[in-house]
Amino acid sequence: MKATAGLLVLLVTVSQGVENPCDGRKDGAQCYGKLGGNIFLHLMDNALSLFRYECQQNKTILFKGGSLRNLSQPPERFSFTPEDGMMKIEKLERTDSANYTIITVGQSGTQNEQWTLLLFVEAPVTSVHIASKCLSQGEQLVSCSSKEGDNVQYKLTLNNQLLKDADLSSGHLQSINVTLKQHVSGQLACSVGNHVSHVLESLLISTCDFINCTSNGTRISGWLPETSKSLCDEYIPRIKAPQSKNYVLIMAGILSALVTLLVISVAIVVLSQKKKQSNTHADEPDLTYADVRIINQPQNKSRIKARQEVEVEYDQVKFSERKRRTVELKQDGCVYANVRRDR
């Protein structure tokens, strides 16, 4: 009865090992184990046919045995079954990540073989959190995170299809945070995993809209998921963008103000120059001219002769357009020079 029980235990062990073993019979094989879990490593074929076999962990002997020698027992948490060459490690620890070297000698004692496998122990991913937040201009920030796990990789899908780069404004498909374009909506799923675990979390996202309304007396204003419109008691039609964000209009207003100030400055300078020139003309003194007239009167020959000896030529010079005042001269037969200043 005891032998039957022992055989049953052995069959269960082999069965468990066959379910998900890591094949370490080739040199350079890589195996991955879950931290705190168990792993089966297929080290060799039937070890009972070998003259000698040995397993080392980072050059430290774990166990050895052969057809002519007693099997040395592996340390605690390790077990080995020579019938199928399967080694089991229970409750994996990080220190179990190591190089395992297997050395075998055939029955003839001359055929030696040696190979190495690498075992990596990783902490599994236990939970995933996915969230979204509306940004300005209708873009949407999506974050996917996990609290635990070693060598974690992220993958995003939309409606069961891989998310495309054309759907992204920034970030990449394997990153924790990405920014989606305005038109993206649907069932967004974030897959987080490593070699020993895999967790999937999904979120239904809708496009973002600028909502300005009241809900139960509270004002709601900002970029929110379009589904938030159902919370509004009184909805105010969407405005394209908050005025504080409309930089183009702000810059246009500033430029218009600068142009207006420039035109006013130029006008002031021109008026100032004209006023200065007007004052300069006003300060100039009035021109003086002489009006010489000769009255023909009977004269004696001596005076005529004297006049002929000295010929004087007069001309009338005018520098002003003002109306000239006429002064009547006395008819006394004399020549007068009347000097006037027009004011």
pLDDT score, position 62: 93
- The phi-psi region of residue 240 (left if phi > 0; otherwise alpha if psi is between -120 and 50; otherwise beta) is alpha
- Residue 53, pLDDT > 80, answer yes
Tokens of 200: 């999937």
Contact 158, 167 (CB under 8 A): yes
Residue 39, CA distances (Å) to 3, 118, 209, 233 in order:
26, 13, 51, 60
Query: Is CATH 2.60.40.10 the right assignment for the domain spanning 12-122?
Result: yes
Of 3.40.50.300, 1.10.287.80, 2.60.40.10, 3.90.850.10, the CATH number of 129-205 is 2.60.40.10
Lowest pLDDT segment from 66-70, 161-165, 167-171: 167-171
Q: Read out DSSP for 277-302?
A: HHHHHHHSPPPEEEEEE-------HH
pLDDT band at residue 28 using 50, 70 and 90 as cut-offs: very high
- Examine domains 12-122 and 129-205 and report if their fold is the same: yes
pLDDT at position 229, please? 78
pLDDT tens for each residue of 288-317? 444 545 555 555 555 544 455 445 455 554
Q: How confident is the model at residue 325 (pLDDT cuts 50, 70, 90)?
A: low
Distance CA 101, CA 24 (A): 10
Mean pLDDT for the stretch of residues 246-257: 76
Q: Where are the domains of the chain?
A: 12-122, 129-205, 288-341
Mean pLDDT over 58-70 rounds to 84
Average pLDDT for 62-68 = 85
Q: What's the rounded Cα separation, in Å, for the pair 146 and 238?
A: 37
| Strand runs labelled E in 194-264 | 198-205, 208-215, 218-225, 234-236
d(CA 102, CA 118) in angstroms, rounded, equals 11
> Mean pLDDT throughout 251-255?
82
Q: Which band of pLDDT confidence, cut at 50, 70 and 90, is reported for residue 8?
A: very low
**Torsion sign across C-alpha atoms 31, 36, 37, 39:** positive
What pTM did the predictor assign?
Answer: 0.57
* 250, pLDDT greater than 80: no
Tens digits of residue pLDDT in 36-51: 999 999 999 888 888 8
3-state helix, strand, coil in the chain (%, to 5): 25, 35, 40
Rounded to an integer, what distance in angstroms lies between the CA atom of residue 62 and that of residue 102?
A: 10
